């Protein structure tokens, strides 16, 4: 261990200390299946509308007693999900068998040795027909270390009447500059996520990738050796978009405290006629219209297309999200966990989950399912966006990079042409242990 990496190891040791305490109580809960001979698999899931619980019940029933799956719900915030899982895993918690992981945390979890290897004979089963970005997100150092479950992406949502009045041709890709001009002309706003949180990194990464750049140029490197690509022409182009939104006054109210849910509400309440967001907004708007909390005419005015481009003629690289499922290296039921995983990520379950919870499938064939097409008429835009989407940086130091971006690119009104160089210097110092987040 050299001085450059000692900071990271100190954090791991500290986390491990907390984890040991937790493990003492958690392993006592353990596998309560000894009486029946059926192993109970504990699956830690991100919050949803109950779709993962339903899959757990269906797969348990279909296993014929081979296993039973129980779910435990993680916090809604991605950073808190990471913290809870890392603490438990650092303590060698044997109560975790399966875990739903944001793809950005896959490298860190794998690098720490917390993931059970994916069996060689199952790798093709878990990757055939899956969108490339989702496979990339489940891969670390050229090895599949987790299994793609669903693969999210952001679209550009718009009010059809406003876009038409602004003279935008939404059958063709539109640029950020065209949106800004249209919003200004129609006295409306563009719903973006300006909160100091993961959503800010999602936005910045998508714009840098769309401009042909990369936040990290060598993601496999150790922290101090990472080459950042934020201070680049692509980074400056991303900063310029933010500046223009702020200068034109089209960011809408509360932009610096707005996450995806707040953005969806702003759009739903006619506070913004344009918005970049995940596909859950469609199901939310539909439910509001059917429940009478939103005028049906407003929902009928919803339009969608692919993510805004940075320049005409240059395709956008939309955000890529989703959830992978991994098997814990400390599970005492690894074989049963992988058997269960084949059921969880089946085409049938991915289709049902997309319909019930609005989370797009990782398997491309799901988008040909008539029920999916009926529930999500923008299915083809989602599939097209997933095929062009760019993952956030795949690095074991993602937490440091993401928090550094969120700190330096917020508030939006403070972003200038100096932001790319300042944020690159700041994150570089954090990675070298010269500065704390």
CATH: 3.40.190.10, 3.40.50.150, 3.40.720.10, 3.30.465.10. Which one for 155-318+393-432? 3.40.190.10
What residue segments make up the domains of the chain, in order of their start? 40-152+320-391, 155-318+393-432
Q: Give the pLDDT of residue 329.
A: 98
The CA radius of gyration of the chain, in Å to the nearest whole number, is: 22
H or E element that contains 347: helix 347-357
Q: Give the pLDDT of residue 24.
A: 37
Residues 6+ apart with CB under 8 A from 129: 363, 364, 365
Q: For residues 408-419, b (16+ Cβ closer than 10 Å) or e, as one string?
A: bbbebeebeeeb
What's the Cα-to-Cα distance from 74 to each of 83, 85, 101, 134, 311, rounded to whole Å? 10, 8, 10, 21, 39
Q: Give the pLDDT of residue 72.
A: 97
Q: Is the peptide bond before 411 cis (omega within 30 degrees of 0)?
A: yes
Helix ranges (DSSP H) in 51-116: 51-62, 78-90, 106-111
For 40-152+320-391, CATH number? 3.40.190.10
Q: How far apart are CA 131 and CA 383, in angstroms?
A: 9
Q: How far apart are CA 99 and CA 8, in angstroms?
A: 24
Task: Pull the structure tokens for residue 330.
Answer: 């400390």
With CA atoms as reference, report the closest residue to 329 among 93, 158, 126, 170.
Answer: 93
CB-CB contact of 31 with 333 (8 Å): yes
Q: How far apart are CA 110 and CA 402, in angstroms?
A: 18
Q: Give the pLDDT of residue 77.
A: 82
Same fold, 40-152+320-391 and 155-318+393-432: yes
Sign of the dihedral through C-alpha 27, 28, 29, 34: positive
Residues of the chain with pLDDT below 70 are 1-36
Supply the pTM of this predicted model: 0.86
Q: Give the pLDDT of residue 76.
A: 84
Distance spanning both ends of the chain, measured CA to CA: 22
């Amino acid at each position: 261990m050299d001085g450059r990496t000692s900071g990271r190891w100190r954090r791991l040791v500290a986390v491990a200390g907390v984890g040991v305490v937790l493990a003492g109580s958690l392993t006592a809960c353990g596998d309560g299946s000894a009486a029946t001979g059926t192993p109970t698999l504990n699956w830690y899931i991100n919050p949803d509308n109950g779709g993962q619980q339903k899959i757990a019940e269906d797969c348990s029933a279909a296993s014929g007693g081979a296993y039973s799956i129980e779910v435990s719900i993680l916090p809604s915030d991605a950073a808190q999900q990471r913290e809870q899982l890392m603490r438990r895993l650092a303590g060698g918690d044997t109560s975790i068998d399966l875990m739903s992981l944001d793809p950005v945390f896959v490298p860190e979890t794998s690098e720490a040795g917390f993931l059970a290897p994916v069996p060689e004979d199952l790798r093709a089963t878990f990757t055939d027909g899956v969108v490339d970005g989702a496979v990339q997100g489940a891969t670390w150092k050229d090895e599949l270390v987790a299994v793609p479950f669903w693969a999210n992406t952001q679209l550009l949502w718009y009010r059809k009447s406003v876009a038409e009045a602004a003279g935008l041709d939404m059958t063709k890709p539109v640029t950020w500059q065209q949106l800004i001009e249209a919003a200004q002309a129609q006295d409306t706003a563009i719903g973006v996520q300006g909160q100091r949180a993961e959503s800010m990194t999602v936005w910045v990464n998508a714009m840098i990738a769309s401009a042909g750049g990369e936040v990290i140029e060598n993601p496999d490197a150790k922290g101090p050796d990472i080459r950042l690509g934020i201070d680049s022409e692509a980074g400056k182009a991303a900063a310029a978009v933010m500046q223009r939104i702020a200068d034109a006054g089209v960011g809408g109210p509360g932009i610096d405290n707005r996450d995806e849910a707040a953005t969806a509400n702003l759009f739903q309440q006619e506070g913004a006629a344009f918005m970049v967001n995940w596909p859950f907004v469609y199901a939310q708007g539909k439910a509001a219209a059917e429940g009478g909390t939103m005028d049906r005419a407003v929902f009928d005015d919803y339009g969608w297309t692919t993510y805004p481009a940075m320049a005409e003629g240059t395709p956008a690289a939309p955000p890529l999200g989703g959830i992978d499922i991994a098997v814990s290296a400390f599970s005492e039921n690894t074989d049963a966990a992988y058997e269960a995983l084949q059921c969880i990520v089946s085409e049938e379950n991915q289709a049902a989950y997309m319909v019930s919870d609005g989370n797009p499938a990782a398997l491309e064939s799901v988008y040909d399912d008539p029920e999916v097409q009926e529930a999500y008429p923008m299915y083809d835009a989602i599939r097209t966006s997933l095929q062009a989407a760019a993952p956030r940086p795949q690095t074991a130091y993602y937490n440091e990079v993401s928090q550094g971006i969120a700190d330096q690119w917020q508030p939006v009104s403070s972003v200038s042409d100096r932001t790319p160089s300042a944020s690159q210097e700041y994150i570089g110092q954090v990675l070298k242990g010269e500065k704390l987040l």
